[in-house]
């Protein structure tokens, strides 16, 4: 894989990185970070320019975020209406969705800023920001800062950590495992709290 990548024209690689990051923002299961780490590692071996790798990754990510934001802003209410009218309405009742929207309005700025550090949550966060109509300039600014920090961290990890790909890949894998476990724990805690409150309200006459 390294031999094939190192033989490509640099401009094609940079365009691929742009599309790669754009695609990951729209479809979060896509492993964009792994590709960024690969090319950052190859940049560290002298095959590509690390500054251009960083620039194209940032550009693609921001484009993807803003596309998703505007989809949520313009079509989000239609999706919510569909959810509440379908069988999913029992799982996501309208009161619960409205409550979540109010919480998002209150803490949305912080959530948007943290979105790049939360694997698997990036697309829903950007989409939700559009649904609750957070100011587009705020979304762009907070997302931009978040993207700058995360991708600088990622590119530097690939560029500097170890002399082998195995060490760099292990670093990213461990990070994703830790963050995923934290997110699952938080989700479980909030789920327990939600159902306890719901049960308590049901018991009270």
The pLDDT assigned to 3 comes to 66
Where is average pLDDT lowest: 71-85, 107-121, 158-172, 175-189? 158-172
Segment (H or E) for 168: helix 165-203
Res. 115: pLDDT tops 60: yes
Q: Which tokens is 84 given?
A: 């509440």
Rounded alpha-carbon distances, angstroms, from residue 3 to 7, 46, 48, 86, 154:
6, 13, 13, 50, 22
Res. 89: pLDDT tops 60: no
Query: In the structure, what pLDDT confidence band is assigned to residue 54 with cuts at 50, 70 and 90?
Result: very high
Distance, CA of 161 to CA of 197 (rounded, Å) = 47
Domain with 186 in it: 2-203
Are the beta carbons of 26 and 70 closer than 8 angstroms? no
Where is average pLDDT lowest: 22-31, 47-56, 71-80, 160-169? 160-169
pTM of the full structure = 0.69
Total structural domains within the chain: 1
């Amino acid at each position: 894989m390294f031999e094939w990548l190192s033989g490509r024209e640099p401009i094609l690689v940079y365009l691929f990185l742009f599309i790669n990051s754009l695609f990951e923002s729209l479809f979060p299961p896509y492993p964009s970070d792994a590709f960024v780490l690969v090319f950052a590692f190859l940049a560290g071996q002298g095959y590509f320019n690390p500054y251009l790798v960083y620039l194209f990754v940032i550009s693609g990510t921001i484009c993807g975020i803003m596309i998703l934001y505007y989809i949520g802003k313009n079509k989000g209410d239609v999706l919510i209406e569909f959810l509440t009218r379908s069988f999913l309405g029992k799982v996501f009742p309208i009161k619960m969705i409205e409550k979540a929207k109010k919480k998002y309005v209150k803490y949305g700025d912080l959530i948007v800023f943290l979105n790049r550090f939360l694997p698997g949550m990036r697309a829903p966060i950007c989409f939700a920001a559009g649904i609750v109509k957070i100011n587009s300039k705020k979304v762009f600014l907070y997302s931009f800062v978040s993207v700058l920090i995360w991708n600088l961290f990622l590119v530097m990890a690939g560029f500097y950590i170890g002399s082998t790909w195995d060490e760099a890949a292990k670093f990213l894998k461990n990070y994703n495992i830790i963050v995923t476990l934290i997110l699952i724990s938080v989700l479980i805690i909030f789920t327990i709290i939600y159902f306890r409150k719901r049960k308590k309200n049901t018991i009270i006459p």
